[in-house]
Every structure is written in C-alpha cells, then in structure tokens.
Amino acid sequence: MSGKTHDRRPAPDSDNRGRAPNSRDRVLTPGPRARRPCPDPGKLQTDILYRATIDYYNLRQVHGDMPHKTPRGPAPDLPAEQARIVRESQEAMRGRKVLEVASGTGSATREIAETAVSVTGVEIATNMLDLAAESDNPPNVSYLAGDAFDLGSIAPGKSFDGGFAAGFLHTCPASRYAEFLHGFHARLEEGAVVFMRSSRPTSPDAVSRLFRVEGHEDQFMTRQLSDGSEYIMVENDPTEEDLRQVFEPLSRNLEIHIGNYWWWIRYELP
Ligand SMILES: C[S@@+](CC[C@H](N)C(=O)[O-])C[C@H]1O[C@@H](n2cnc3c(N)ncnc32)[C@H](O)[C@@H]1O
C-alpha cells in the first residue's frame, strides 16, 4: 500500500451527523429525503440486528434487492477506486495463508487467492456459502460455515498469517468491535497482516435509507428486497479517526484510507 491518504470527500450524509435530537421524532435522519416514521425500537436490539443481517444476506440471493429509487448518477472515479482496493488487498495478502471472515459468494476471496498461498473463507449465510461453493474456485480456496464472532473452533489446527474481511465491519455494531477483533486476532499468528475494507453508503439511494437514533452509537439503514420484505441493519461509515481509535491500540503500521466509495485499512499484529 502506498501509505495512508487523507483525501476524504465529505459523505453526502455528513451535514446532519451529530444533529441535536428532535424531541418529536427520535430518529436522527441524515437529510430531509430520509424522513420516515420511527422504526420499532425493538428492531435495534443487538440480537435482532444480528438475525436481520443474516436473514437479509440469505434472502438477497433469492429475491434480489429492491431496485434503487434514486440512481447514483455518474461516478467516473469509481472503477479506479475499485481497482486500487483490489490491488491493495492482493498485495496485503500476497504469499499468506489467509483467514477471511464473511466471505459471502467468494468474489473477494477469489481476488485475493490470486496472490495468497491459501484462503479459508468463513460465512454464516447458507445461501451465500452455497453460491460460493458452486463458483469456479481455484484450488487454494476453501469455505466453511461459521460465525465471525465465534471463530475459536473454525479450522482447528490451521494457522493463518493473513486476515481479511471485505464488507463486514460496516454491519458490525460498534459495541461488538472488541469481541469480533479479539476473536479474529486470536486466530492469527504474531506478525500477521490484516486487510479490511467496506463500502461507504454515499450513493443518493443509500443516503436516503440511512438513519440515526438517539441513544445508539451506530448508524442504521433500511434495506428492502424485491419481495417487499424490509430489514433494519447497522450501516456504519467510520471516519479515519474512528478507525484509528479502534485499531491503533491493537496493531502496528496501521494504514487507513477513506475513499469516496469504500474505506480500507491494512495493519500488522504485534
Ligand atoms: C456485504 S457481504 C460481503 C461478502 C464478500 N466478503 C464480498 O466482499 O463480496 C457481507 C457478508 O457478511 C456475512 N456475514 C454477516 N454477518 C456475519 C457473521 N456474523 N459471520 C459470518 N459472516 C457474516 C453475510 O452473510 C454476507 O455474506
């Protein structure tokens, strides 16, 4: 990686971050477009969010997302950012035995398998796992059913000197970062390199579905599948400072990049 950069463009929702709570409407919306009735507060409990995330990813493979109401519009810099994130992921995992969490259908798994010695993907949604297994995978890739928060018994006896997570941390409640990272790092060797990346909810459609609620440190998003079913999930979009606070105490040589469409970090374990 070429080093940390600071070219962060303000996210479209950033204007309303930290807005004072409105006594009539406890949902802190990111903008006037996103005003909606307060969701059932029960749906914001950690265990319900966890279940909704798994259900959403399982059923997204069956129904597909509801088509976007607001198109993104031109994003000429998106392909270059995507190419960079893939290149930097591959460089970070080059020559390593990688434990990947939340491997989904394996698209990022196969990317890093081009440079890694091996990649073991762990995924909780069975439909995602099935699709990953049915894909054209190189021989150095394997997939296991498992939970990112419970990696202790995954692949017993295997050692890993690379850790990878694409598209996971933004759905992880901030209150579970320590639990996740403690378990993930415990499965990696001393000096292992870790690469994490997540998309940022910066498209007009994503922004229109974001909201914050008083008393919750996470940001949330409503997601809808084409069968009309609706899911409330965590959708955090951490700043460089947020990431530094979480990862610096746990790592060496932390590099952070906040792009326009993704954020990504690379670090080493002490
Ligand atoms: C945005 S997708 C990313 C998939 C893949 N890594 C990629 O980049 O294409 C998020 C994935 O995380 C998985 N996931 C969510 N919570 C998980 C958990 N607790 N343990 C393992 N996988 C989880 C979902 O099922 C889904 O496949």
Distance 40 CA to ligand 1 centre (A): 25
Residue 69: the pLDDT is 84
Q: Please say if the pLDDT value at position 33 is more than 80.
A: no
d(CA 120, CA 155): 8
Domain that holds residue 202: 42-65+78-268
Tokens of 41: 């507060």
Atom of ligand 1 nearest to the CA of 100: 6
Indicate the pLDDT class of residue 198, thresholds 50, 70 and 90. very high
Ligand 1: residue whose CA is nearest its atom 26: 104
Whether 15 is covered by a domain: the verdict is: no
Task: Say how many domains are in the chain.
Answer: 1
Contacts of residue 76, defined as CB under 8 A and 6 or more positions apart, other chains included, come to none
Q: What is the CATH number of the domain that holds 134?
A: 3.40.50.150
- Classify 174 as helix, strand or coil: helix
Q: Please say if the pLDDT value at position 50 is more than 80.
A: yes
Beta bridge partners of 101: 122, 165
Indicate the pLDDT class of residue 10, thresholds 50, 70 and 90. very low
- Of 85, 28, 71, the closest CA to residue 203 belongs to 71
Whether 4 is covered by a domain: the verdict is: no
Residue among 59, 137, 168 to mutate when testing ligand 1 (max atoms within 8 A of CB): 168
Residue 98: the pLDDT is 98
Cα torsion at 30, 34, 40, 45 (round to 10°)?
A: -40
pLDDT tens across 146-170, in order? 999 999 999 999 999 999 999 999 9
Q: Which amino acid is at 19?
A: R
Cα–Cα–Cα angle for 69, 75, 79, rounded to 5 degrees: 120
